[in-house]
Amino acid sequence: MPMEVYELRATGADGRYWYFPTTTAANAQWTYVGPAVTSAAHLPTLSAGLDGQRLSGPAVAPQDTGRYTTTIGLKLTIPLFAGGATESQKRQAIYQREQLRDELEGARRAMTRETQAQYQAVLSALSQMRTAGAAVQAAEKALASTRSGLDLGARTMTDLLLAIQTQSNARNAWEQARHRYVLSKLLLQQAAGALGEPQLAAVNTLLGPAPAPAAAPSTLPMNASITAPAALAAR
């Protein structure tokens, strides 16, 4: 997935804000909190009321005792003069709306920076992983050459032990680089709001052994797999 797509998902610039609670809440507040809410104070209001009571007591005629009465009322309020309170509330709502808009923009920019940083971290981890894979292949060839030289008497047992140690160190470096790549990719997907159960379930697949890649791609597919040098497949 190209960097631009990750940024669109992270910032909600594609019109979808539900990737993150932060942008979802900020966008909802910015959308619904504004001067339109307080402008309704200038408009007439109509309210309804319902009241019920049971007649009883010495002041009630005997034939009316125990009767229930229900009263329905409507109340129309027309604000002919409300002073400066309504205008003050309206200005406050405008300022609050501007503040929420700034907070939403700040959240978008923060997510953009985080997504860019994690994307670069993925590219760096992928490059390190492939460099480590090349080192493993070179160590395997050196070990095979040392063993052949030992059989021919051109190498010593010390040379063989050093070659085995170099191979082991290269393998450890590869494993660490591969784990860093997986972690960086998960952090990128989290920053872009693309991390879900399928991505977490795919971690085992990403760590599966296979031939190592040669170079880092310019874009990263969401389902890209992590591959290992052929020498590691036989471990």
Domain boundaries defined on the chain: 3-13+109-233, 21-38+86-108, 48-77
- Residue 186: pLDDT band (50, 70, 90) is confident
Whole-number Å distance between alpha carbons of 123 and 127: 6
CA distance 221 to 2: 8
DSSP category for residue 125? H
pLDDT confidence tier of residue 2, bands split at 50, 70 and 90? low
Give 108's contacts (C-beta < 8 A, 6+ positions apart).
10, 11, 12, 13, 23
For 144-181, give the DSSP string.
HHHHHHHHHTSS-HHHHHHHHHHHHHHHHHHHHHHHHH
Helix or strand or coil: residue 67?
A: coil
Phi, psi of 76 (to 5 degrees): -105, 125
Q: What is the distance between the terminal CA atoms of the chain, rounded to a whole angstrom?
A: 32
Q: What is the pLDDT of residues 53-75, one digit of tens each?
A: 776 767 767 766 777 778 888 88
pLDDT of residue 169: 93
Note whether 41 and 89 are within 8 A (CB): yes
Tokens of 39: 């402008």
pTM, 2 dp: 0.56
Q: What is the pLDDT of residues 195-234, one digit of tens each?
A: 777 877 777 777 666 544 443 444 444 444 433 334 334 4
Length of the chain counted residue by residue = 235
Distances (CA, A) of 203 to 196, 197, 200, 215: 12, 10, 6, 21
Alpha helices in the chain (DSSP H): 3-11, 21-32, 35-39, 85-152, 157-191, 197-201, 203-206, 230-233
Q: Which of 16-25, 80-89, 183-192 has the highest mean pLDDT?
A: 183-192
Per the CB < 8 A criterion, the answer to whether 86 and 42 are in contact is yes
CA distance 135 to 74: 85
Least confident of 24-38, 123-137, 161-175: 24-38
pLDDT in tens, 78-120: 776 665 676 777 777 778 778 878 887 887 788 778 888 888 8
User: Which pLDDT score is estimated for 228?
Assistant: 38
